[in-house]
Amino acid sequence: MLELTMASVSGTDAGATAGMQMADAPSEPGAVLRVGRDRGACRLATPDDWLFVSRVHLEFLCGPEGTWQVTWLRGTHDDPSSEVRFSLVGGGGGVLQPLPYGGTAKLPAGGSGELVIHDRTGPRSVNVGFYHEV
């Protein structure tokens, strides 16, 4: 099972959140969880006016062995208005590393971490925590 939590953070106060959302999916091949503005395609949706987040921004996909990966999907623009960073608890020491535009990262079985979608033009971010239960 993959469990996701998402908080939209705005303003100069990093503690000011626009709400917490949660989603999960069984670790079965082909299972998908998406994060973005499109409420019809995404289990976790950001505010509609947060245009630095693509319609479908992040896609979590379960592979054939029950392992999960996350991909920052490429949108219509060559240069995105956001940046995505991720950290793995334990493995990366909690240090946020860049996830390249269009790039994919594997999530460790039994591991947890965080992805942060940061608006390059203002003090807003979307924080997505994950826990891959084995």
pLDDT digits (tens, 9 = 90+) for 23-39: 999 999 999 999 999 99
pLDDT digits (tens, 9 = 90+) for 70-81: 999 998 889 999
The pLDDT-based confidence of 44 (bands split at 50, 70, 90) is: very high
The pLDDT-based confidence of 89 (bands split at 50, 70, 90) is: confident
**Partners of 20 in the beta sheet?**
7
Q: What is the pTM of this model?
A: 0.90
Residue 114, both tokens: 């965080």
